[in-house]
Chain A
Amino acid sequence: MTIVEEQDGLGKYIVVYIVMLVITGIELLIASRHPSGGALLASMLIPAFLGAILGILYFMHLASENHKSIVAFTIFTVFVLAATTYGWSDSFRLLLGAPFAK
């Protein structure tokens, strides 16, 4: 069965496309100035997340899906992504050569 839907405008696709390319350019510009570790990581991750959110909402059409699915997918995914950073602080301990806690 073929479900025919009304076509949405091209404009939003072009805008998201341009924003994604601009984000890469901004990241390159920031990285070429070689900021310090934490600032560099944040300045790479924040634009990348912005691009990802735009891609998910408009290229993957999540914005036009049922709101229940948006909420369910978002909560589930963000929770697990946050949980993956659980051991992050241990990398600083390794870097500084600090002993394990007793």
Chain B
Amino acid sequence: MSHSEVALGGQHAGHHVPIMEPSPFAVPAKKLAMWLFIISDIMTFAACLVAYGFLRNSTANWPRPFQTSTIVSVLIMTFILVTSALIMALAVRAARAGDRAAAFRLSMITLVAGLVFTLLHIREWFGMIGQGVTFFKNPWGTGLFGGAYFSVTGMELLHVIAGLIALLIIAMGYKSGRYSAVDLENIGLFWQFINIVWMFVVPLIYFMNMAS
């Protein structure tokens, strides 16, 4: 097919020939791209968590500093994040059904929940810093603990903040008609991914290092 035929939409001798072949996975291109991004991000988090596990396993005096107050705070954060994931799933469900107002409202509730999670997370960090934990030292044992703790939870926090900014932009755009339901679904996928990562961060970082 010549370039001019492509430009005309692939019409040749009365037959309509599609310009592009259909997606092999039968999903919109944007959504496929988001899945591929999430897969690559899974690798990033997996590398971080495996490196953390490696360090923890190979270090005899690994600190177990998390007291009941921290664990309660983490449980509240988990409840908020899992609830926000449910609300985001419902927002995507509403968007798929064409209910723009409900999808926007639910997205905003997700946003508020995410903000509360972020504030609690930062408060948790300040608590740790107040106890003398830095990237290279802490009062309890090997200095590697601080680096591992701040790296893994920092990656999670970075994703949450990025997700919140993206969610705000896309939800506002979705409300005004600039973005489609697929766009909202894409940011929904990312938000669910953040929740799933947290499902690993909590047991591996916090529960495994609970004070006796």
Q: Which residues of A contact B (CB under 8 A)?
A: 1-8, 10, 13-14, 16-17, 20-21, 23-24, 27-28, 30-32, 34, 37, 40-41, 44-45, 47-48, 51-52, 55-56, 58-61, 65-66, 68-69, 72-73, 76-77, 80-81, 84-85, 87-88, 90-95
Q: Pick the interface stretch among B8-16, B88-96, B147-155, B162-170.
A: B88-96
Give 10 nearest A-B pairs by CB, closest first: A94-B58, A31-B207, A44-B203, A4-B98, A91-B58, A69-B25, A91-B57, A17-B86, A66-B26, A7-B97
Interface of B is mostly: helix
Interface of A is mostly: helix
Closest B residue to A53 using CB positions: B196
User: Does B46 touch A at the CB level, under 8 Å?
Assistant: yes
B35 and A69 contacting across the interface, CB-CB below 8 Å: yes
B24 and A48 contacting across the interface, CB-CB below 8 Å: no
> Which of B50, B53, B89 makes the CB contact (< 8 A) with A13?
B89
Q: What CA separation (Å) do A16 and B189 show in the bound complex? A: 16
A73 and B39 contacting across the interface, CB-CB below 8 Å: yes
Contacts of A3 in B (CB 8 A): 96, 181-182
Contacts of B96 in A (CB 8 A): 3-5, 7
Q: Which residues of B contact A (CB under 8 A)?
A: 24-27, 32, 35, 39, 42-43, 46-47, 50, 53-55, 57-60, 71, 75, 78-79, 82-83, 85-86, 88-90, 92-94, 96-98, 180-182, 185, 188-189, 192-193, 195-196, 199-200, 202-204, 207-208, 210, 212
Closest CB in chain B relative to A78 CB, distance in Å: 10
Closest CB in chain A relative to B158 CB, distance in Å: 20
| Sample (11) of A-B pairs whose CB atoms are under 8 Å apart | A10-B90, A14-B86, A20-B85, A37-B57, A44-B203, A55-B192, A55-B199, A69-B35, A91-B55, A91-B58, A95-B58
